[in-house]
Each structure stands twice: as structure tokens, then as C-alpha cells.
Amino acid sequence: MIDIINVEQTFGDRRILKNVNLQINKGETMVILGASGSGKSTLLKMMIGLLKPTSGKILIDGRDITRMPETELNEQRKHMGMVFQYSALFDSMNVKENIAFGLRMHTKLSEPEIDQAVKEKLHLVGLDGTEELMPSNLSGGMKKRIGLARAIVLEPEIILYDEPTAGLDPIRSTDISLLIKNMQEKLHVTSVVVTHDLKSAELIADRMAFLYEGSFLEIGKPSALYQSKDPRIKQFMNGLPSSPDIEKEGDE
Ligand SMILES: Nc1ncnc2c1ncn2[C@@H]1O[C@H](COP(=O)(O)OP(=O)(O)OP(=O)(O)O)[C@@H](O)[C@H]1O
């Protein structure tokens, strides 16, 4: 379980996250929604220990990663996979080496075992036989899939996704969302997905959390967000243009 307790983040004099609390249960898919700049990626970076909060705690299975020494944090990260917004593949490595990277870093698997693990993960993401391709020869959707294969290669208990469907056309976006769902069903991982893609969120979320200017306004089943009376949530869920009146109304 991931337990975010009273987390605050300031950059200079800007308070980006304000007293954030969120519990993510084992095996669930939590989707974090919110407008650009609301602090979603900042929170995700904290969950994998890339950024330390200004104050507060982040417990993973009861252990506070914000206070862990680097060696222990690295150990913890082996149980976590991250899918980055722009795939973040190594351009000079082929698909196999990109996926095998974590295995070479963190395990002592033999070459045939690595081959087998890469093959299995490529099969899971529907890209059998692409081991020798270079990232420059892959479409955006394929790169996302390879990013996903790389994130699951160490069979993590937690997968964090930063905008997994960003930059994809609607059909590819649905493909990736279904893949995330499929992965969830097969691997029973705990997933945290940051997105503004509502269609994708609906397909994959067990629960949703709506971040607004650094605070959660609502955390609950998707229906709770769709039925919310808060004008700031209604506006986002209905894709309405921003209006100063809505912000004023929401602050009352
Ligand atoms: N290292 C940093 N130093 C200073 N400001 C930062 C830093 N990282 C993020 N910010 C600021 O914090 C705010 C929240 O950024 P964040 O990337 O978390 O938002 P987001 O909700 O993920 O947005 P988007 O959906 O556009 O990716 C932004 O105003 C951003 O400029």
C-alpha cells in the first residue's frame, strides 16, 4: 500500500502541493486527474523517490521512502516500475537492450534468461519479435509499449505511469489504456496513473483522485467524480473552458 501523509512541496516561494493525503490500496489502479500545473507529476516523482517533499511522509508498505538512505531507496525502486511521459528509451540501444537494462543492472540472470524475460514482456505488450529494432524505427505507440515492457521487466509490485497516452491518437490511446488494464489483471500490480485523458482514466481506474492547485478536491470511485457538485470538478470532467466565475464559486 502507498500512503501519502500531509505532503507539502514548495519550489522557492511557490507552494505546489498543499497538505496532500492519499492512500492507494494494494492491487488497485488509482488515476490522478487534474489540470496542467496542478502538481500531478511532482507527486508521482515523490512516490518513486526522485523528489523529496518539503514536508510529510510517503509510506510504501509502511516504510517512509522520504527518509530512506539512497541504498535502501534503490532497493525499494527495484519493486517499482515507472512509465515516463515520452517513453524515455535509450536511443542508442535496440529494443531488447532497452528492456534488458534493469535486468542487467539489478539481477545476475544469464543471457538466455534475459532473452526469455525480454521475449515474455514483448509478448505481453503485443510486440513479439521486435528485439532488434532501434527506437528511431518505432512509432509513438510502439515506444509507449516498449516503455511499459521495460517498466514491468523486474516484475514490480507498483507501476507509476506519467501521462501514458499523451501524444497518441485516440485509437492508440485506447490500445494503451486496454494494455494497462490487461497488465493489471495479469500481474495484479498496484498502479498509479497520472493523466488528463478522461477516456483512458475511465477505462482503467478503480478510483480517481482530482488534484486542483496542489490539493485533492475529491478521491473516490469514478462515479463520485462524475456526480460531484464541485464546479471545479464538474468543469474538468465535462471538458468545459475555464471561467473565472467557476473558480470563484468553487472557493466559497
Ligand atoms: N523542479 C521544479 N522547480 C520549480 N518549479 C517546479 C519544479 N517542478 C515542477 N514545478 C512547478 O510545479 C507546478 C506543478 O508541476 P507538475 O509538473 O507537477 O504539474 P502537472 O500537474 O504534472 O502538469 P502537467 O499536466 O502539465 O504535466 C508547475 O507550475 C511547475 O512549473
Q: pLDDT tens digit string along 206-231?
A: 999 999 999 999 999 999 999 999 99
Record the cell numbers describing residue 72, joined without a space: 535502501
58 part of a folded domain: no
Residue 244 reports pLDDT greater than 80: no
Using a 6 Å cutoff on CB, does residue 36 contact ligand 1? yes
61 part of a folded domain: no
Using a 6 Å cutoff on CB, does residue 214 contact ligand 1? no
Q: 17: CA distance to ligand 1 center in Å? A: 10
For residue 111, the domain's CATH number is: 3.40.50.300
Q: 134: CA distance to ligand 1 center in Å? A: 31
164 part of a folded domain: yes
Say which residue the cell 501521462 belongs to: 163
* Count of structural domains within the chain: 1
What's the gap between Cα 159 and its chain centre? 6
pLDDT tens per residue, range 135-155: 999 988 889 889 989 988 888
pLDDT tens per residue, range 79-95: 998 888 777 889 999 99
131 part of a folded domain: yes
What ipTM did this prediction achieve?
A: 0.94
4 part of a folded domain: no
Show the domain range for 107. 27-49+69-251
161 part of a folded domain: yes
167 part of a folded domain: yes
Using a 6 Å cutoff on CB, does residue 223 contact ligand 1? no
140 part of a folded domain: yes
pLDDT of residue 168: 80
Under 8 Å between Cβ of 40 and 194: yes
CA–CA dist 92, 245 (Å, integer): 50
